[in-house]
Structure 1
Amino acid sequence: MPTPFSPSDILPVLLTLAIAALGGGLATVLGLPAGWLMGAALAVTVAAMLKAPVRIPDALRNVIFVAVGMSMGASVAPDSLSMLASWPISLAALAIELVIIVASTGWMLTRLFKLDTGTAYLSSFPGHLSFVMGIAATGVGDARQIVIIQVIRILMLTIAVPVGAMFLPIDSFTPPAAGSFMTPLDIVLLAAGCVAVGLVFMWIKVPAGLVLGAMAAATGAKLGGLYDGAMPTPLVIGTFVLTGALIGSRFVGITRAELVTTAKGGLIATAMTVTIVTVIALVVAQLVDMPFGQIWLGLSPGALEGMGALGIALGYDTAFIAAHHVIRLLMLSFAIPAVVVLIRWAERRKVDG
């Protein structure tokens, strides 16, 4: 049920947003992966666990849902689909790898740690963190447990990057910059379309309707050539900070036992993910004439910045690595909504049956 909002809530909301912005900014300065999102979420999480009056009202929450879906759709590269024919064996392996990772870690978290289906499988997706968190915040699964597992996954997968960089002649890797940005008119029109489709998705009872509807509208418009610019950087940063604040605010009332149990699940899930990636990369290395390290970096669910840094330092084909990470995110853009719908469908059948 929606929670009422009164003028007395203004200060807690402003405090929450300030904590999120400071946390995101600090994490970005420190060079942490997905700094604005991760830092905001962690900062508000700590504040919530320290009993600070953190709060995100429902009206702002709905704005965040639309912004998340819109930013995810707008980030899809128009030429993503054309990349599918470039490396057929490794891209097929990437698709198989994603299915195995999600299915096996989701099953493990459900059976071993007794997480509900939504929490287990949203925790298992290797990437698209802001999208996963946005959907979790709509009530699919337990957002608190999902963020703990996903944070552990990202931190563990990226720890090798700074360690490797200490011994390699490279400072950082910067992903290709956007060639152009959307105009204010483009943003307004796209936002209106995202809201409209999001409301339709809610009306037909699609899970996380605002997020998935906005993403569907933005993705369709991007691939359809209705716009080609990227979202302005301040708008993207704002979306990440708001998403982090929303997720962090869900940690009000979390117990230490819940935190410890979920953290254990995150460690095991990450170990499983790394093992699966390594085995798949070893198989692909027998079928294509590429260095094992290049294949592993391309198939790894770690951040593009970190994998790209190691790739450049080791003399690998960074186009191969970058393309596989872009395609992984594109695959997840379609896989995440599909799995969420299947989860909700299975839950309804269980209740009705």
Structure 2
Amino acid sequence: MRPSHLITHLISLTGVLAFLWLHIPLPWLFGPMFACLLAALFGVKLSVIKPLSEGMRTILGVAVGASVTTAFFVALPGIWDTLILIPFMVIGIGVMGVWYFQRFAGYDFATSYYASMPGGLQDMIAFGEEAGGNVRAISLIHATRVLVIVVILPLILTQFWDANLDTPPGASVTTFELDQIAILTICGLAGWRIAKRIGMFGSSILGPLILTAIASLAGILHTRPPAEAIWAAQYFIAIGIGAKYVGITSKELRHDVVAGLGFCVVLLVLTSVVVLGVFALDLAPPMETILSLAPGGQAELVVLALIVGADMGFVVAHHLFRIFFVILGAPVIAKLFDPKQTG
């Protein structure tokens, strides 16, 4: 472990302790995130152990997969009226994003397009780099999008729907049977490694999700991961968000981050219009609607859904559909927007 790793965790744990002491909700998420963000802006060299961070994301895949039951598949036809909104939202976000970034931030098409797409960060960076975009700008804009969504959503959920963010996201590990812990661990690690070996995108979440869903449907798994595991996942996700700002220059702060913040306003307006329409037509419960349609990171929104006790099947179905649509469709739609694109 390098000195920068120790410094990163010292700063992160200080953030956790400070938020616990101040009784601020979501201390294992907000504490490390804001501590690392502040440290990065002051030039502290933070770093993450990538395999460990990826491994922690498997916990979320396992948590989602454990929620997949026969009832989940039975319920899928009943949520088509909100699922069908996802492609229209993604296309709308893409059109508005490209217009906004080119007109107001002066980015080229590739940077504007892949910075707009609400999909997996690593995938959008890879597509953007192949298309000749500004990788650093794409990374900072996506990090800013996720940061803003993660901060604003809990405020909305607590102010309007009295969501309890202090409820443990599961039972304590001390109450678990050893066979259930073993199955959860095997599904997480084996699912991740198998998915990574076959080149599946989002392997650290989707691989464990699929394997755990199989175990759940087979009747050998009866529980989600313990609260301590979910807190650990929050901790490492938070570090990952804050650390993305390491090495940021004043020019990047003024241009890329400010452009990202402006785009967040565009996203919030578009999302609010769609969400209010769903409310007006009474198509889905309010809390689940917001968590499902918010254009945040899949991992971060899964964490929030777990904490507030939302219908995991409903939320996950929408985010999986969004991720699949963006990852599979982004390069194709990019060529329609700009035939000169080769990526």
- Would you say same fold, with TM above 0.5? yes
2:146 corresponding residue in structure 1: 150
Residues 113 and 237 from structure 1, CA distance in 2 versus in 1: closer, same or farther, beyond 3 angstroms? same
Assess if the C-alpha contact under 8 Å between 1:37 and 1:241 holds in 2.
yes
| Inter-partner Cα distance in structure 2 for 1:95 and 1:48 | 38
Q: CA deviation at 1:97?
A: 3.4
Q: Is 1:340 equivalent to 2:327 in the alignment? A: yes
Alignment map for 1:185-224 (pairs within 5 Å)? 185-202=182-199, 206-224=200-218
Q: CA deviation at 1:74?
A: 2.8
Residues 213 and 85 from structure 1, CA distance in 2 versus in 1: closer, same or farther, beyond 3 angstroms? closer
What is the RMSD of the two structures over their aligned residues, measured on CA atoms? 4.2
The number of residues matched between the two structures is 307
Counterpart pick for 1:251 among 245, 261, 271: 245
Q: Is 1:18 equivalent to 2:10 in the alignment? A: yes
1:242 corresponding residue in structure 2: 236
1:230 corresponding residue in structure 2: 224
Q: CA deviation at 1:268?
A: 1.8
Assess if the C-alpha contact under 8 Å between 2:66 and 2:223 holds in 1.
no
Assess if the C-alpha contact under 8 Å between 1:178 and 1:229 holds in 2.
no
1:266 corresponding residue in structure 2: 264
Q: Percent identity?
A: 15
Alignment map for 1:48-127 (pairs within 5 Å)? 48-56=40-48, 60-78=49-67, 82-83=71-72, 91-114=79-102, 115-122=111-118
Assess if the C-alpha contact under 8 Å between 1:40 and 1:245 holds in 2.
yes
Residues 74 and 334 from structure 1, CA distance in 2 versus in 1: closer, same or farther, beyond 3 angstroms? farther
TM-score between both structures, scaled by the size of structure 2: 0.70
Residues 221 and 136 from structure 1, CA distance in 2 versus in 1: closer, same or farther, beyond 3 angstroms? farther
| Inter-partner Cα distance in structure 1 for 2:145 and 2:206 | 22
| Inter-partner Cα distance in structure 2 for 1:231 and 1:145 | 32
Partner-residue secondary structure (3-state), 1:44: helix
Residues 338 and 228 from structure 1, CA distance in 2 versus in 1: closer, same or farther, beyond 3 angstroms? farther
Assess if the C-alpha contact under 8 Å between 1:70 and 1:218 holds in 2.
no
Assess if the C-alpha contact under 8 Å between 1:45 and 1:248 holds in 2.
yes
| Inter-partner Cα distance in structure 1 for 2:33 and 2:89 | 25
| Inter-partner Cα distance in structure 1 for 2:90 and 2:26 | 21
Q: CA deviation at 1:260?
A: 1.2
Counterpart pick for 2:28 among 36, 40, 45: 36
Assess if the C-alpha contact under 8 Å between 1:145 and 1:262 holds in 2.
yes
Residues 145 and 265 from structure 1, CA distance in 2 versus in 1: closer, same or farther, beyond 3 angstroms? same
TM-score between both structures, scaled by the size of structure 1: 0.68
| Inter-partner Cα distance in structure 1 for 2:227 and 2:124 | 23
Amino acid at match of 2:239: A
| Inter-partner Cα distance in structure 1 for 2:324 and 2:62 | 13
| Inter-partner Cα distance in structure 2 for 1:75 and 1:231 | 10
Q: Deviations over 1:142-171 (max 9, x none)?
A: 443223112323433443444458xx8x97
Residues 145 and 43 from structure 1, CA distance in 2 versus in 1: closer, same or farther, beyond 3 angstroms? farther
Q: Deviations over 1:47-72 (max 9, x none)?
A: 1111012112xxx2023223313422
Assess if the C-alpha contact under 8 Å between 1:150 and 1:266 holds in 2.
no
Q: Is 1:296 equivalent to 2:286 in the alignment? A: yes
| Inter-partner Cα distance in structure 2 for 1:116 and 1:152 | 19
| Inter-partner Cα distance in structure 1 for 2:207 and 2:68 | 22
| Inter-partner Cα distance in structure 2 for 1:305 and 1:198 | 21
Gaps of 5+ in 1: 1-8, 124-131, 286-293, 310-317
Assess if the C-alpha contact under 8 Å between 1:20 and 1:39 holds in 2.
yes
